[in-house]
């Protein structure tokens, strides 16, 4: 029996491992040791999602190795890891049978299969190292195949702080790696969940707009406005709501001494992108609702007489819904200020990390 311990951060990392755990044991038997069964133990520890310092996580994993009868240990974190400012996918500590995998570095694409592939090949590399086999070309090739749009590099280095040799798989490009991290962290934030937290705002905005579209002022303005003006109003309303939510819910992370500027910048970039995607869905939903309401409530002949137009076609209803969605987004922004602050904050990395830090400190005090 071979025992594998997996330490996971709360949230996305835990959810992914829970989904692949059963299949993973069978795959490990097929690809590493067909004569042995694999037993996988998972432990949720906030430290793996609370600190960006590898040494802190490795010191904690050493404790787990001593306390549990595990043959291998892998730590799965939803925080970005770096090596010389490059995004790290996998960090293997050659001195112990321990490794660390960073989920955000995999980007936004479906993660379950890719994380499983990463775990299997990481364990194959560790197993080869234990048998003094340095040929890891096959594993390296499999890992590189998951990153077709980015180049994966392999580096070996000695970490002075822990006095250990490490094998690191990381992005070759700093810029490409950063884009991949932002997309992966945005995926972990789950913009759909943030949009659900704004469902009350959607109701306020639609109620306001539904009342407005029955008056001729909105008909005339949407009919007379050129396309560039409608575009400008849309952009202003969306970004106005975005910045208002950030300010009213304290979503912007401030740099404090002792924290990584790069990490804080990533948090803020991820928050902006998460909110932007959520608000695009929110805007599209309002647009479709107003389009349906306009078609149902407003007869074209009556509208044509009211605004003195020769003919009212599909374009009028499209532009009316467009204008109404933009105007009511402003009303929605005001309503967003009255939403439960914690519900929205929980969809951001910085807030979740602070909660984990507090949880970890409380556990340390109790112990």
Asked whether 117 and 146 are in contact (CB, 8 A), the reply is: yes
Which of 157-166, 220-229, 356-365 comes out lowest in average pLDDT?
356-365
Please determine, for residue 363, whether its predicted confidence score (pLDDT) is greater than 80: no
pLDDT at 319: 94
Q: Evaluate whether residue 70 is within a structural domain.
A: yes
Q: Evaluate whether residue 89 is within a structural domain.
A: yes
Last residue of a domain, one of 173, 204, 232: 173
Statement to judge: residues 51 and 160 lie in one domain: yes
What is the torsional sign of CA 352, 358, 362, 363?
positive
Please determine, for residue 366, whether its predicted confidence score (pLDDT) is greater than 60: no
Statement to judge: residues 156 and 237 lie in one domain: no
Statement to judge: residues 150 and 203 lie in one domain: no
| High-pLDDT (> 70) share of the chain, % | 84
Statement to judge: residues 217 and 272 lie in one domain: yes
Pairing mode of beta strands 164-171, 86-93: antiparallel
Statement to judge: residues 78 and 20 lie in one domain: yes
Statement to judge: residues 29 and 102 lie in one domain: yes
Asked whether 82 and 88 are in contact (CB, 8 A), the reply is: yes
Please determine, for residue 262, whether its predicted confidence score (pLDDT) is greater than 90: no
HSE value, Cβ hemisphere, 13 Å, CA-based, for 233: 20
Please determine, for residue 51, whether its predicted confidence score (pLDDT) is greater than 50: no
Residues 195, 201: Cα–Cα separation, whole Å? 10
Grade residue 292 by pLDDT with cuts at 50, 70 and 90.
very high
Residues 146, 144: Cα–Cα separation, whole Å? 5
Helices (H), the chain: 12-31, 54-67, 112-130, 137-144, 174-189, 191-197, 199-212, 216-224, 227-248, 261-297, 300-306, 314-336, 341-345, 349-366
Beta bridge partners of 170: 88, 153
Statement to judge: residues 322 and 350 lie in one domain: yes
pLDDT at 202: 78
Q: Evaluate whether residue 80 is within a structural domain.
A: yes
Per the model's pLDDT, the better-predicted residue between 73 and 108 turns out to be 73
Statement to judge: residues 22 and 138 lie in one domain: yes
Q: Evaluate whether residue 181 is within a structural domain.
A: no
What is the tally of structural domains in the chain? 2
Statement to judge: residues 151 and 97 lie in one domain: yes
Last residue of a domain, one of 126, 148, 173: 173
- 330: containing domain: 190-366
Statement to judge: residues 215 and 299 lie in one domain: yes
Please determine, for residue 246, whether its predicted confidence score (pLDDT) is greater than 90: no
- The CATH number of residue 115's host domain is 3.40.390
Q: Evaluate whether residue 182 is within a structural domain.
A: no
Please determine, for residue 283, whether its predicted confidence score (pLDDT) is greater than 60: yes
pTM over 0.75: yes
Beta bridge partners of 43: 7
Contacts for 10 with CB less than 8 Å, ≥ 6 apart:
44, 46, 49, 356
Q: Evaluate whether residue 230 is within a structural domain.
A: yes
pLDDT at 318: 94
Last residue of a domain, one of 143, 173, 203: 173
- Whole-number mean pLDDT of the chain? 82
Per the model's pLDDT, the better-predicted residue between 331 and 155 turns out to be 155
Please determine, for residue 39, whether its predicted confidence score (pLDDT) is greater than 70: yes
Kindly report the backbone phi and psi dihedral angles of residue 190, in degrees, each rounded to the nearest multiple of 5, phi listed first.
60, 85
Statement to judge: residues 103 and 142 lie in one domain: yes
Statement to judge: residues 134 and 254 lie in one domain: no
């Amino acid at each position: 029996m071979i025992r594998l311990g997996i330490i996971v951060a709360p949230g996305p990392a835990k959810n992914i491992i829970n989904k692949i755990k059963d299949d993973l044991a069978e795959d490990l038997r097929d690809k590493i040791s067909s004569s042995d069964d694999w037993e996988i133990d998972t432990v949720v520890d906030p430290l793996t999602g609370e600190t960006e310092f590898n040494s802190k996580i490795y010191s904690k994993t050493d404790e787990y190795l001593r306390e549990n009868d595990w043959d291998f240990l892998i730590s799965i974190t939803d925080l970005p890891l770096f090596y010389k400012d490059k995004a790290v996918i996998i960090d293997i500590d050659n001195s112990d049978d321990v490794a660390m995998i960073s989920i955000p570095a995999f980007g936004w694409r479906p993660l379950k299969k890719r994380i499983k592939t990463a775990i299997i090949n990481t364990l194959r590399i560790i197993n080869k190292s234990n048998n003094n086999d340095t040929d890891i070309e096959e594993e390296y090739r499999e890992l590189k195949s998951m990153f077709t749009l980015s180049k994966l590099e392999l580096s070996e280095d000695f970490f002075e702080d822990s006095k250990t040799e490490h094998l690191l798989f990381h992005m070759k490009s700093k810029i490409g790696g950063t884009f991949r991290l932002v997309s992966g962290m945005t995926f972990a934030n789950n913009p759909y969940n943030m949009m659900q937290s704004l469902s009350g705002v959607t109701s306020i905005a639609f109620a306001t707009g539904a009342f407005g579209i029955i008056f001729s002022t909105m008909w005339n303005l949407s009919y007379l406005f050129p396309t560039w003006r409608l575009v400008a109003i849309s952009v202003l309303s969306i970004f106005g709501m975005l910045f208002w939510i950030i300010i009213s819910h304290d979503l912007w992370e401030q740099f404090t001494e002792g924290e990584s500027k790069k990490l804080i910048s990533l948090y803020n970039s991820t928050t902006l992108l998460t909110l932007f995607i959520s608000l695009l869905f929110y805007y599209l939903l309002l647009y479709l609702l107003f389009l349906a309401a306009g078609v149902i409530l407003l007869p074209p002949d009556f509208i044509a007489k009211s605004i003195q137009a020769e003919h009212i076609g599909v374009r009028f209803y499209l532009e009316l819904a467009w204008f109404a969605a933009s105007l009511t987004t402003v009303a929605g922004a005001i309503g967003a200020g009255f939403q439960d602050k914690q519900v929205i904050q929980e969809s951001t990395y910085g807030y979740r990390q602070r909660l984990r830090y507090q949880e970890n400190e409380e556990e340390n005090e109790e112990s």
